[in-house]
Amino acid sequence: MNSEADEKTAAVERQIKTLDAMLASALALAPFSFDKLMASTASPRFDPGPLGQAGTVPDWADFAPPRPSWPRRLTGARSRRRQQAAARARFEAAQSGHRSQEAQRRQALTQAKARYDQEVTEEHVRAVRRNADIASRRSAFAARDAESVEWYVGQVLAASRYPDVFPREHRVAYRARSGQVVIEFELPPRRIVPSVRAFRYVQARDAVEPLPRPEREIRQRYTRLISSLALRTLHEVFSATPPEVVGSVVFNGLVATVDRATGKPVRPYLLSVSAERQAFDDLVLAAVEPVACLRHLNALTSPDPFDLQAVEPLVSLDRG
């Protein structure tokens, strides 16, 4: 039971470590780029597998009857001829079977190679088409085409790795005249912060019991988490785009939940921050405290994100 308590405690600690590293884990990665969207046109070498191995050719030595001793050579000539004939028949049958198997193997190998060549050709065509599309989008992006910038920023956000339990919904708008990207980003719900800080084994009851995490700590961790997500997203977009295309980014973080009063689905905004590239580039993100950093950027943050008190976005994605 002690080991069970230790394992459950370790699992909770891993969850907390992942949440705490939400910003730092992204800073160590190379920026996203159009090159990462390109498909490789190189093809793997054809591997025939077992079809590439010819079967063993029958060897007469494996079929020939044993050489008789000298006395039997004088008295058993007829018997030896029968043995020799039977062995020869088995050998010839093995040779015939080998030739048949080899013919089937070569035919199967030819068919496998033909399928491989067809798949390689089709994959190459798909890769060339994809790369042509990416190249076209890259040119339109450089020209500040709104649809292309929105598509690319969406790719940047989609490529960001989060735990499986995190929501992955987002929307993007681009204002070409000002070079501003507006992002609407779904934040994880409050339950993402474990309500248990550890587990212990109680010998008197022979049971493993949870030790609750203080509510104040849960609230603080949740506020820090959504602040980290905002900074992480700003970093990913700025690092993946040139200043001549994207000069500022607005991050609006909302959460999908249910209104306690009405029981209806609601999506309150818990955080809204607008950052100019130059001001953001001056930050040393590896050393900031996320909540304090957002205050420095004059972000609007819910007075109590854990209780889902909403804020009005600085820039609405729909209204501009």
249 φ/ψ angles, rounded to the nearest 5 degrees:
-135, 135
Higher pLDDT among residues 156 and 201, named by residue: 156
Q: Can you give the pLDDT at residue 1?
A: 58
Q: Can you give the pLDDT at residue 10?
A: 92
Query: Is the confidence at residue 285, as pLDDT, over 90?
Result: yes
Q: What's the pTM?
A: 0.81
Query: Is the confidence at residue 203, as pLDDT, over 90?
Result: no
Q: Can you give the pLDDT at residue 282?
A: 96
Query: Is the confidence at residue 193, as pLDDT, over 90?
Result: yes
Across the chain, mean pLDDT equals 90
Q: Can you give the pLDDT at residue 318?
A: 73
Residues 212 and 195 sit within 8 Å (Cβ to Cβ): yes
- The Cα 256–Cα 187 span in angstroms is 8
